[in-house]
Copies of this chain bind each other. A is one copy, B any other.
Amino acid sequence: MSRSPSSRGRRPDPAVDAKIRSAVLDLLLQRGLEMTMDEVAAHAGVGRASVFRRYATKRDMLLDGLAQLLDIQVAIPDTGSLAGDLRQVVVDTLAIWHDDRLAALSRQILGESGRDPVVADLVRTSMRDRMARTWAVYDRAIERGELRPDSDLWLLTDLFAGLVAYRGLLGLGLPDPDEVVRSLLYGFAATG
């Protein structure tokens, strides 16, 4: 073994930890995923070596930053009707893409998911958690008889999450929430 868990000697300074993590988060929001290690160290007001003492690779550092970033809670709507609740969920999902800086960052993160499976995992988990937290909406709707009880809820959520991600990633115009809700609830078939 090269080293034991170590109990003697100077301990890592928590203030330095915090300065680095905060600098990464800052740079992520300001400039996206593209940052050099020198910039992180400088922005944190810390030695370059201290960054590498905390993260073996740049990727590890960014993954930690992304994990912080994606760990955001969302409110569960309860408007009384499925259409109202669903609209709120769609609007919340769209909100990220209406802020230019957040949209650019989201594009880059989604993009990184295409090259790094671990990032894809982070995003997947974060989206899944987020969506699962809206399950209450659909449970209530099924009880009220507004939603087919045999609905594939993952399909339902992924249809609009996918639509928004797809349009956002490719820089297409974002959809109107009401149109989305109507399509999801009643479909495109002519009524007859």
Q: Which residues of A contact B (CB under 8 A)?
A: 33, 82, 107-115, 117, 120-121, 123-124, 127, 145-149, 151-152, 155-156, 158-167, 169-172, 175, 179-180, 183-192
Contact = CB atoms under 8 A, between A and B. Distances in A.
Given A110-B169, A187-B187, 14 more contacts: A108-B115, A110-B111, A124-B170, A147-B188, A149-B190, A151-B188, A152-B183, A155-B183, A156-B188, A159-B160, A162-B164, A165-B165, A183-B184, A186-B186
Contacts of A111: 110-115
Contacts of A185: 187-189
Main secondary structure of the interface of A (DSSP, over half): helix
Contact of A167 (B109, B158, B189): B158
A180 B159 CA distance: 9
Contact of A179 (B107, B155, B184, B186): B155
A187 B141 CA distance: 14
Contacts of A146: 189-190
Nearest to A32: B115
A149 B188 CA distance: 9
A145 B191 CA distance: 9
19 contacts: A108-B114, A109-B114, A110-B114, A111-B112, A111-B115, A113-B169, A113-B170, A147-B190, A148-B188, A148-B189, A155-B180, A159-B160, A159-B163, A162-B162, A165-B166, A185-B188, A186-B186, A186-B187, A186-B189
B120 A171 contact: yes
A123 B170 contact: yes
Contact of A114 (B114, B149, B156, B187): B114
Contacts of A175: 155, 158
Contacts of A155: 163, 175, 179-180, 183
